[in-house]
């Protein structure tokens, strides 16, 4: 065992010296390799952390949202629905919700207006998301005006800015009182945009959703898990696009690695011949080259992954955010909680380190199994 360990140490020593001897070439390769890993790891870490953040934020959302449909379009819920829902067994809590979209021509952005159900807002005041506050350059105490769809101008005082922690879902949010909302969007009393429901037994969510569908054939129940799934598929879709582009880069790198390996330089072939002539066997040469590939690819993997981690969790993924967050004007700014998924790391490892090792080892093996006789001839 000691002999084996000592032998590996000798091989590693030689490998390090070998890497140092072709410094420029290996540094170039390390840089390209690290960049590829950085790109792939950034996309994976970022989308994974986004999903996690969305899951955490939506964990407190109602289990079911009921929306009324007219001619296949979302419409207001008229009075009477809330009372009928209250009679359904298993419904713990129901609440009419008021929300709507508003296009702000000043900054060419869409806002989500919503009646705050967890805070009491004085008439004429509102609370805005951090993204909106940034875009419009407003702070608590400032006045802000919006022209309603009726043509009437409304001026509000900003009571507060929503915390940055929730910015993923609140960047474009405007919270206001019910009376102000109804006046701004011209919605009559008793009408709601939709109804939220909390269910006593979470296992009964689907049963209650089907009862709602039966009792209110003009409505559609939306489950919290469906919203989460939608978020998930949106992030997966965006991640897929970026990864598809990154795959091209990966492919280019694989070609480079193959080129490097299969096109062994005369010096490298000569070196393999010398080593064999002086007593190294094919296995020794392959082990040495394995260590060379392993050191290079592991260093590149660690460097790339570490850089990606810092990029995503300390620099807010500034290079990828525009592609992966996807807001048109109001980009949310938020700190993602660091999440590292073992399966993800393993996948990335196999997609980067493994192809490189294979691309380099196969041609070296071909060179290493030939007779060292040519070395004798200089």
Partner 1 sequence: MIELRQIHKTFNAGRENEFHALTGIDLQLPAECVTALRGPSGSGKTTLLSIIGCLARPTSGRVRLLERDISGLPERFLTEVRRRTFGFVFQQFNLISGLSASENVMLPAYPLGGDRQALQARAEQLLAGLRLAHRRTTRVELLSGGEQQRVAIARALINEPPVIIADEPTANLDTALAMEFMAIIEELAGTGRTVLLSSHDPLLVESSLVKRVVDMRDGRIVHPAVPAGAGR
Q: What x-and-dash track marks residues 2-41 binding partner 1 by CB under 8 A?
A: xxxxxxxxxx--x--xx-xx--------------------
* Residue 24 Cβ vs partner 1, minimum distance, rounded to whole Å: 13
Query: What is the distance between the alpha carbons of residues 248 and 331, in angstroms, rounded to a whole number?
Result: 28
Query: Of residues 93, 260, 279, 338, which one binds partner 1 by CB under 8 A?
Result: 279
* Residue 281 Cβ vs partner 1, minimum distance, rounded to whole Å: 4
Query: What is the distance between the alpha carbons of residues 364 and 268, in angstroms, rounded to a whole number?
Result: 9
With CA atoms as reference, report the closest residue to 316 among 337, 287, 295: 337
Q: Which of these segments, 163-171, 177-185, 271-279, 337-345, binds partner 1 (CB under 8 A)?
A: 271-279
168 binds partner 1 (CB under 8 A): no
Q: Which of these segments, 123-131, 140-148, 325-333, 365-373, binds partner 1 (CB under 8 A)?
A: 365-373
Triad 77, 81, 87: Cα angle to 5°: 155
Instruction: Tally Cβ neighbours within 10 Å of residue 339.
Output: 15
Q: Which of these segments, 67-75, 147-155, 219-227, 277-285, binds partner 1 (CB under 8 A)?
A: 277-285
Query: Of residues 220, 284, 319, 327, which one binds partner 1 by CB under 8 A?
Result: 284
- CA 51, distance to chain mean position in Å, is 6
375 binds partner 1 (CB under 8 A): yes
Torsions phi, psi of 128, nearest 5? -120, 155
| Exposed / middle / buried, residue 135 (Cβ in 10 Å: 0-12, 13-18, 19+) | buried
* Residue 170 Cβ vs partner 1, minimum distance, rounded to whole Å: 60
372 binds partner 1 (CB under 8 A): yes
* Residue 376 Cβ vs partner 1, minimum distance, rounded to whole Å: 5
For partner 1, the closer of residues 92 and 374 by Cβ is 374
For partner 1, the closer of residues 120 and 376 by Cβ is 376
For partner 1, the closer of residues 307 and 367 by Cβ is 367
Residue with tokens 């909390």: 198
Query: What is the distance between the alpha carbons of residues 245 and 37, in angstroms, rounded to a whole number?
Result: 13
Q: What is the CA radius of gyration of the chain?
A: 31
Query: What is the distance between the alpha carbons of residues 67 and 75, in angstroms, rounded to a whole number?
Result: 7
How many binding residues for partner 1 (CB under 8 A)?
36
Query: What is the distance between the alpha carbons of residues 154 and 123, in angstroms, rounded to a whole number?
Result: 12
For partner 1, the closer of residues 11 and 175 by Cβ is 11
| β 64-70/194-199 pair status | antiparallel
Which residues here bind partner 1, judged by CB under 8 A? 2-11, 14, 17-18, 20-21, 270-271, 274-284, 369, 371-373, 375-378
């Amino acid at each position: 065992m000691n002999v084996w360990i000592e032998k590996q140490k000798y091989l590693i020593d030689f490998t390090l010296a070998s890497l140092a001897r072709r410094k420029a070439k290996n540094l170039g390769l390390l840089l390209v390799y690290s960049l590829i890993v950085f790109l792939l790891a950034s996309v994976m870490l970022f989308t994974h952390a986004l999903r996690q953040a969305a899951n955490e934020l939506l964990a407190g959302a109602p289990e079911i949202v009921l929306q009324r449909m007219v001619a296949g379009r979302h419409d207001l819920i008229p009075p009477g629905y809330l009372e009928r829902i209250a009679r359904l067994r298993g419904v713990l809590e129901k609440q009419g919700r008021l929300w709507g979209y508003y296009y702000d021509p000043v900054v060419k952005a869409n806002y989500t207006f919503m009646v705050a159900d967890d805070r009491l807002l004085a008439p004429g005041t509102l609370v805005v998301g951090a993204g909106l506050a940034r875009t419009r350059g407003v702070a608590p105490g400032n006045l802000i005006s919006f022209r309603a769809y009726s043509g009437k101008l409304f001026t509000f005082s900003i009571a507060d800015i929503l915390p940055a922690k929730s910015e993923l879902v609140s960047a474009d949010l405007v919270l206001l009182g019910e009376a102000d909302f109804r006046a701004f969007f011209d919605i009559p009393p008793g009408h709601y945009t939709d109804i939220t429901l909390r269910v006593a037994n979470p296992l009964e969510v689907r049963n209650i959703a089907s009862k709602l569908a039966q009792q209110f054939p003009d409505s559609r129940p939306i489950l919290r898990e469906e919203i989460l799934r939608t978020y998930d598929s949106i992030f997966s879709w965006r991640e897929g696009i970026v990864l598809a582009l990154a795959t091209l880069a990966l492919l280019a790198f694989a070609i480079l690695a193959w080129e490097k390996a299969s096109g062994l330089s005369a010096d490298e072939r000569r070196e393999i011949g010398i080593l064999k002539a002086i007593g190294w066997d094919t296995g020794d040469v392959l082990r040495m080259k394995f260590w060379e590939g392993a050191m290079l690819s592991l260093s590149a993997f660690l460097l790339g992954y570490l850089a990606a981690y810092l990029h995503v969790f300390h620099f807010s993924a500034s290079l990828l955010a525009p592609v992966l967050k996807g807001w048109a004007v109001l980009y949310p700014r938020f700190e993602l909680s660091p999440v590292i998924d073992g399966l993800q790391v393993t996948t990335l490892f196999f997609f980067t380190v493994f192809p490189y090792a294979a691309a380099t080892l196969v041609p070296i093996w071909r060179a290493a199994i030939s007779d060292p006789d040519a070395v004798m001839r200089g």
